Amino acid sequence: MSEGAPNPVDPRVDLARDRTRLAVYRTGLALDRTTLAWIRTTLTMASFGFGMVAFFRTLRERSPGPESARLHDGAIRVGTALVLLGIVATVLAGLSHWSTLRKLRRGESPVLSHWPLSLTVATLSAVIGLAALWALFRR
């Protein structure tokens, strides 16, 4: 047998296979943790949207007037936008999770997106915040 040829009974081959299977398993668990973090984040966004509407509704009821009515109307728009963003981000997180799991099960490497979900949600949140500030200070 030549010096550079692998030995067919080399125990390192089985160890490498085991390590590869465990690495795929750890990647799947990390994917689950990431998806659960997205679910927590999106539920928080939607809850905050509902909370905004309720808070400004109470403010409007306690001190009726044009200013509190304007704040309540703005809170309804921003709250609705946050609830919708939460729903869309939840769906996108689920689709991303499902797609990545399929690739892992087929033995393919997951691909990092050029426009990840985190950047998308952050950008949309900033747009919602800027629109809310613009609407609040415009008269």
Distance CA 101, CA 104 (A): 5
pLDDT reported for residue 64: 84
Distance CA 43, CA 93 (A): 12
Residue 87, Cβ neighbours under 10 Å: how many? 13
Q: What percent of the chain has pLDDT over 70?
A: 91
Distance CA 18, CA 28 (A): 15
* pLDDT-derived band at 37, boundaries 50, 70, 90: very high
pLDDT reported for residue 7: 58
pLDDT reported for residue 89: 92
Q: What is the mean pLDDT of residues 37-46?
A: 92
pLDDT reported for residue 76: 87
- Side chain identity, residue 105: R
The CB-side HSE value for 79 (13 A sphere, CA atoms) comes to 17
Distance CA 93, CA 89 (A): 6
Q: What is the mean pLDDT of residues 131-137?
A: 80
pLDDT reported for residue 33: 92
Q: What percent of the chain has pLDDT over 90?
A: 21
Q: What is the mean pLDDT of residues 86-115?
A: 87
Residue 47 has pLDDT above 90, yes or no: yes
Distance CA 113, CA 61 (A): 47
Return the domain boundaries, the chain.
Answer: 11-137
Q: What is the DSSP annotation of 70-122?
A: HHHHHHHHHHHHHHHHHHHHHHHHHHHHHHHHHHHHTTPPP---SS-HHHHHH
Q: What is the mean pLDDT of residues 52-58?
A: 84
